[in-house]
């Protein structure tokens, strides 16, 4: 499967309106899009940006969604609710015969392959919405297989045994061979905090550390004040809207 993340900065005071827009416009549109298996909106718990997280059956269907213009249409509709600080890019039209809007403003999407999926059932916002914890990692490309083996064989079982953990995902960068995301779903923030402060997070990070990219140490050395050489970046979110989707036209 294929994971696509779009980082969004919502204008102050527009959070509720944007959540309604995602519920009423984005999710139904994605439900009618070939290959989209899931769409969810993550609101920042500690941080600035929202994230739209979609899961696809293949990279090809995700790219067709973007190329056929629905992604740009949804962005245009959402633009009044987005902050001026939102990061946009200019994308040139791929078809040289296309003359309308040859330079398209888009928000860049991050793309990942889902190597391990132990949490699809928990990615729903019905009932108690999960607390989402995303750990961004940089992996040494030459030790990627070792990293995946340790993560799937040791980290996932350890996480699933933690009280309150509802699911685990491992996503590897589709374009960046060193990028990876560890995504965990929790019943409550307290469960995730208890896991982090209880020492298990440090133990598992230490178990994986030998597979991390040397860029961690390089950045820490240049920064001079980094805490924990090689430390991964942790961010937290609340799933405010989310729905598993099927193939259009089926139940």
- Which token pair is 7? 């980082």
* Number of separate domains in the chain: 2
Residues 235 and 123 in one domain: yes
Q: What angle do CA 242, 138, 114 make, to 5 degrees?
A: 40
Q: Residues 86, 185: one domain?
A: no
Angle between helices 70-78 and 59-67 (to 10 degrees): 60
- Cα–Cα distance, 212 to 146 (Å, whole number): 10
Residues 124 and 205 placed together within one structural domain of the fold: yes
- Whether 162 maps to a domain, the answer reads yes
Domain membership of residue 123 (yes or no) is yes
Decide the pairing of beta strands 179-186 and 165-173.
antiparallel
Q: In this structure, are 150 and 229 located in the same domain?
A: yes
Strand partners, 134: 183, 235
| pLDDT of amino acid 83 | 85
Look at residue 250 and tell me if it is in a domain. Answer: no
Owning domain of residue 134: 116-239
Q: What is the CATH number of the domain that holds 16?
A: 3.30.70.100
**Shared-domain flag, residues 71 and 171:** no
Distance CA 217, CA 231 (A): 9
Residues 174 and 98: their CA atoms lie apart, in Å, by 28
Give domain status of residue 140, yes or no. Answer: yes
On whether the CB atoms of residues 16 and 188 are closer than 8 A, the answer is no
Q: Would 212 be classed as within a structural domain? A: yes
Q: Which of 110, 137, 160 is the last residue of a domain?
A: 110
Instruction: Scan for tokens 């991390």, then name that residue.
Output: 212
Closest CA to 109 of 148, 72, 58: 72
Pair (70, 127) in one structural domain: no
| Whether residue 130 is found in the same domain as residue 204 | yes
Tell me how many helices (H) and strands (E) the chain has: 9, 10
Q: What pLDDT score was predicted for residue 46?
A: 64
- Tell me the β-bridge partners of 173: 112
Non-local CB neighbours of 182 within 8 Å, separated by 6+ positions? 134, 135, 137, 151, 155, 168, 169, 170, 232
Residues 151 and 224 reside in one and the same domain: yes
Answer whether residue 249 is part of any domain.
Answer: no
List per-residue pLDDT tens for the chain, 251 residues long.
899 999 998 988 999 999 999 999 999 999 999 999 999 999 988 656 899 999 999 999 999 998 888 998 999 999 999 987 666 654 444 444 444 444 456 777 899 998 766 666 667 655 678 899 999 889 999 999 999 999 999 999 999 999 999 999 899 998 888 889 999 999 999 999 999 899 899 899 889 989 998 765 544 444 333 344 445 788 889 888 888 886 544 33
Examine the domain organization and report whether 82 and 147 are in the same domain: no
State both tokens at 77.
């509709």
**Does one domain contain both 152 and 196?**
yes
Domain-located, residue 251: no
Same domain? 173 vs 214: yes
Q: Look-up: residue for tokens 């004040």?
A: 225
Give domain status of residue 76, yes or no. yes
Residues 35 and 127 in one domain: no
Domain boundary among 79, 110, 141: 110
């Amino acid at each position: 499967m294929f994971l696509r993340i779009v980082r969004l900065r919502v204008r102050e005071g527009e959070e509720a309106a944007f959540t309604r827009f995602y519920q009423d416009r984005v999710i139904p549109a994605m439900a009618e899009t070939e290959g989209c298996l899931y769409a969810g909106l993550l609101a920042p718990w500690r941080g600035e940006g929202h994230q739209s997280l979609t899961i696809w059956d293949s990279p090809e269907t995700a790219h067709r969604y973007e190329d056929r213009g629905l992604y740009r249409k949804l962005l245009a509709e959402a633009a009044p609710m987005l902050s001026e600080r939102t990061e946009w890019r200019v994308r040139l039209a791929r078809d040289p015969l296309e003359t309308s809007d040859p330079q398209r403003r888009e928000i860049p999407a991050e793309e990942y392959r889902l190597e391990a999926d132990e949490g699809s059932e928990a990615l729903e916002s019905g009932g108690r919405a999960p607390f989402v914890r995303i750990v961004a990692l940089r992996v040494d490309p030459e030790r990627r297989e070792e990293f995946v083996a340790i993560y799937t064989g040791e980290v996932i079982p350890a996480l699933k045994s933690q009280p309150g953990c509802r699911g685990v995902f491992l996503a590897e960068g589709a374009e960046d061979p060193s990028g990876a995301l560890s995504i965990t779903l929790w019943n409550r923030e307290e469960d995730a905090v208890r896991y982090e402060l209880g020492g298990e997070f440090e133990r598992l990070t230490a178990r994986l550390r030998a597979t991390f990219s040397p860029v961690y140490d390089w950045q820490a050395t240049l920064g001079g004040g980094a805490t924990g050489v090689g430390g991964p970046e942790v961010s937290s979110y609340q799933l405010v809207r989310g729905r598993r989707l099927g193939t259009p036209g089926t139940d």
